[in-house]
Amino acid sequence: MGLFFKRRKATAMGLLGLEFGPQGVALAQVQRAEGETPQLLRCDYLEGQPEAQAELLKQAVAEHGLSGMSVNLLLHPSAYQMFLLEAPEVPAEELRDAMRWRVKDLLSEPLEDVVIDCFSLPEDAYRGRTRMVYCVVLKKSRMNEFRSLVQHAGLILASIDITEMAFRNLGLLAGADAINLALLRLRTSEGLICVQNGADLYMARRIEHGLARAEQDLSSMTLEIQRSLDYYESQLGKGYISRLLLLPMKQDGERTHQALAAGLAVNLQRLDLRELFPGQPAGDLAESSQAFCIGAVGAALRQDAC
């Protein structure tokens, strides 16, 4: 699944995953060879406020000889909206246009000011009762801004993606083939839980209880996560979740892992880039550093068939 642009084939240098955030730019470079484990060649976080990020990125590209590389740009969660809606009965090639009118009344901006893309849930989701579609909405002004930032750095914007799909790519590398695998990211103000089976994304839900609210008591956040897991198992009819991977956090990772492991009825494990990319220099990162770059790494793992 790719959003907004058809991507170009990655070069011999691989593909860059790039995410602009409120405090900095995450940059990851992944190289693939057919039949071999992907190589994480670079994983950097360029700390700086939005007004400084264009020059920070340009300097990094020049310093590391990355000019001309293809980029899969990952939208920060604050940059887009996503809606889960019932799909109309239209051919696949007409779905995007049909969903533009379905999502129209949910937006505060005119349709001509936004870009909309969508992807369907697998046919066996919701036990086949209702065909559901995720619609992603991005303001055209933001898209043009991102395009300018990438071009200014001497890079080629090949595609634009979302966090949910970047996490799906991480799940594939972590062993999601033919099992129900969930990934959980917890941030200061919110969280995200995604459940996939193989390459198919079945559920993506925001967690309202972030780490700031859970600083003293993790029980409310644990309950919200468990309810999401229960919803998947009861409503989608895909069976139990084999593993739940907790993504790297900027702080209190061990404490949070222990509290969740004690409160959740699931096999909870911590995802570590050092285990996903063993023996690779760019994978030798502390958890706090991984937390800033994990989304960009997932974006750089995108393949042509996605």
Instruction: Note the pLDDT tens digit of each residue in 272-283.
Output: 999 999 888 777
What pLDDT shows up at residue 159?
A: 95
Quick one: 108 and 191 in the same domain? no
- Segment 111-120 mean pLDDT: 94
Q: What does the pLDDT average to over 94-122? A: 92
What burial class does residue 300 get, using C-beta atoms within 10 Å of its C-beta: 0-12 exposed, 13-18 middle, 19+ buried?
buried
Greater confidence (250 vs 185) lies with: 185
Six-digit token pair at 107? 């937006």
Give the model's confidence band at 195: pLDDT under 50 very low, under 70 low, under 90 confident, else very high. very high
Q: Look at residue 218 and tell me whether its pLDDT is greater than 90.
A: no
Query: Final residue of a domain: which of 139, 167, 192?
Result: 139
Q: Tell me what the mean pLDDT of segment 167-178 comes to.
A: 93
Overall domain count for the chain: 2
DSSP conformation letters of 223-289: HHHHHHHHHHHHHS------EEEEPP-SS-HHHHHHHHHHH-SS-EEE--HHHHSTT-GGG---HHH
Mean pLDDT for 167-188 is: 94
Query: Which tens digits make up the pLDDT trace of 133-156?
Result: 999 999 999 999 999 999 999 999
Mean pLDDT along residues 232-244: 88
Q: Is residue 165 part of a domain?
A: no
- For the beta sheet containing 114-120, the strands, ordered from the edge strand earlier in sequence to the opposite edge, are 81-86, 132-139, 114-120
- Structural domain including 83 reads 78-139
- Identify whether 58 is part of a domain: no
* Confidence band for 93, pLDDT divided at 50, 70 and 90: confident
Number of other CB atoms surrounding residue 96 within 10 Å = 15
CB atoms within 10 A of CB 124: 13
**pLDDT in the model for residue 306:** 46
* Residue with tokens 């979740």, as numbered in its chain: 241
Does residue 116 fall inside a structural domain? yes
Specify whether 181 is located in the same domain as 133.
no
Could you tell me if residue 162 is inside a domain?
Answer: no
Cut 0.85: pTM above it: yes
Confidence (pLDDT) at 92 = 83
Specify if 260 maps to a domain. yes
Distance CA 77, CA 20 (A): 10
Instruction: Please tell me which residue, 7 or 111, carries the higher pLDDT value.
Output: 111
Tokens for 263, please give them.
Answer: 């409160």
Asked if residue 181 and residue 107 are part of one domain, the reply reads no
Helix (H, G, I), strand (E, B) or coil at 172: helix
Q: What is the pLDDT of residues 32-84, one digit of tens each?
A: 887 788 999 999 999 999 999 999 999 999 999 999 999 999 999 999 999 99
DSSP code of residue 100: H
CATH number of domain containing 190: 3.30.420.40
Residue 108 lies in a domain: yes
Q: Which of 89-93, 107-111, 112-116 has the lowest mean pLDDT?
A: 89-93
Lookup result for tokens 């933001």: 142
- Residue 113 and residue 187 in one domain: no
- Rounded Cα–Cα distance for residues 278 and 206 (Å): 30
pLDDT for res 12: 67
Is residue 41 in some structural domain?
A: no
- The angle at the Cα of 206, spanning 200 to 210, to the nearest 5 degrees, equals 135
Residues 195 and 259 in one domain: yes
From 139, 155, 186, give the residue that closes a domain.
139
CATH of residue 119's domain is 3.30.1490.300
Half-sphere exposure of 268 (CA within 13 A, CB side): 22
Residue 97: inside a domain, yes or no? yes
Q: Are 122 and 201 found together in one domain? A: no
Q: What is the chain's alpha carbon radius of gyration, rounded to the nearest angstrom?
A: 19
- Residue 165 confidence class, pLDDT cut points 50, 70, 90: very high
Q: Look at residues 161, 164, 230 and name the one whose alpha carbon lies nearest to residue 200.
A: 164
Is residue 180 domain-shared with residue 105, that is, in the same domain? no
14-37 per-position pLDDT tens digit: 999 999 999 999 999 999 887 788
If DSSP codes are grouped into helix, strand and coil, which group holds residue 153?
coil
